[in-house]
Amino acid sequence: MSNDFLAVNNLTVHHGQLCAVDDVSFSVQRGEVFAMIGANGAGKSTLMRTIAGLQKLTSGSISFKGQEISLMPPHKRVKFGVSLVPEGRRLFSSMTLEENLQVGEFKSNKGPFNIHRIYELFPWMPDRRRQLAWQFSGGEQQSIALGRALLTNPELLLIDELSLGLAPIVIEKIYALIPEIVKEGLSVMIVEQDVAQGVGVASRVHCLLEGRTSLSGVPADLTSEAIERAYFGADLNSTKDH
């Protein structure tokens, strides 16, 4: 039995015939920010959804706090401390900001996050709490999705594509909250297509290429060439000139 906070071992996940995650292993430690990077279709969302219990695995294991969770239903994983900010935010668009947050609060574990704490993190929220979710900008919606996940008081927060479709200034602001979140004792696993962002915030980085691990390490040890090769594939130089 491993002492890892989250241990993913030899995980393989299929969508029908397609192998989206192929024999992937890694671990996340308590209190760290772990970045999973990779190009379009690399299998990042499939992997995150599998950890959250929204996607069935083909083989392998996922253990969290020393317990095998790969057969645990998603709502039980939330109770056990795993929460996902899904790709594309997935807010309830015809519900208000506050009602969307209450969805997270409803499933809450004991912990530091309540609505007041979320309103402290996002001071623009209280005045607009009765506005409908679809009326917010992409960055605001991402913040609401993040707030909703935090309100479950997870120990492991999974964030799928924090920066997708957002303006750089907005991305910077949301990224600035990650250290605040970690300070509260959470571990964060973040999926990023924006490599610089992912590598910048993480203590460890793992790269997927067509479902397989192509690189894994500590940012300081990784050259940008090695990351680029792992991200785009070994034949990068032969395709670059075309």
Ligand X SMILES: Nc1ncnc2c1ncn2[C@@H]1O[C@H](COP(=O)(O)OP(=O)(O)OP(=O)(O)O)[C@@H](O)[C@H]1O
Report the interface residues with Mg ion, using CB under 5 A.
44-45, 87
Report the partner that residue 84 touches, choosing among Mg ion, ligand X, none (CB closer than 5 to 8 A by kind): none
Please state the closest distance from residue 47 (CB atom) to Mg ion, in A. Answer: 9
Rounded CA separation 67/129 (Å):
38
Report the partner that residue 86 touches, choosing among ligand X, Mg ion, none (CB closer than 5 to 8 A by kind): none
Contacts for 74 with CB less than 8 Å, ≥ 6 apart: 52, 53, 54
Amino acid found at 241: D
Rounded CA separation 50/69 (Å):
10
CB closer to ligand X, 38 vs 198: 38
CB closer to Mg ion, 47 vs 82: 47
Q: Return left, alpha or beta for 165; rule: phi > 0 is left, psi -120 to 50 is alpha, else beta.
A: left
Rounded CA separation 164/191 (Å):
10
CB closer to Mg ion, 118 vs 171: 171
Please state the closest distance from residue 229 (CB atom) to ligand X, in A. Answer: 17
Given a contact cutoff of 8 angstroms between Cβ atoms, the answer to whether 6 and 80 are in contact is no
* Distance from the Cα of residue 47 to its chain's centroid: 10
Please state the closest distance from residue 20 (CB atom) to ligand X, in A. Answer: 4
Report the partner that residue 40 touches, choosing among ligand X, Mg ion, none (CB closer than 5 to 8 A by kind): ligand X
Rounded CA separation 189/187 (Å):
7
Residue for token pair 């057969």: 71
Rounded CA separation 162/116 (Å):
23
Please state the closest distance from residue 160 (CB atom) to Mg ion, in A. Answer: 6
Report the partner that residue 236 touches, choosing among ligand X, Mg ion, none (CB closer than 5 to 8 A by kind): none
CB closer to ligand X, 151 vs 230: 230
Residues making contact with ligand X (CB under 6 A): 15, 18, 20, 38, 40-46, 87, 193
Given a contact cutoff of 8 angstroms between Cβ atoms, the answer to whether 137 and 62 are in contact is no
Amino acid found at 7: A
Q: Which of 212, 213, 113 is nearest to 155 (CA)?
A: 113
CB closer to ligand X, 97 vs 199: 199
Report the partner that residue 38 touches, choosing among Mg ion, ligand X, none (CB closer than 5 to 8 A by kind): ligand X
Report the partner that residue 229 touches, choosing among ligand X, Mg ion, none (CB closer than 5 to 8 A by kind): none
Please state the closest distance from residue 180 (CB atom) to ligand X, in A. Answer: 26
Given a contact cutoff of 8 angstroms between Cβ atoms, the answer to whether 162 and 189 are in contact is no
CB closer to ligand X, 122 vs 229: 229
Please state the closest distance from residue 48 (CB atom) to ligand X, in A. Answer: 8
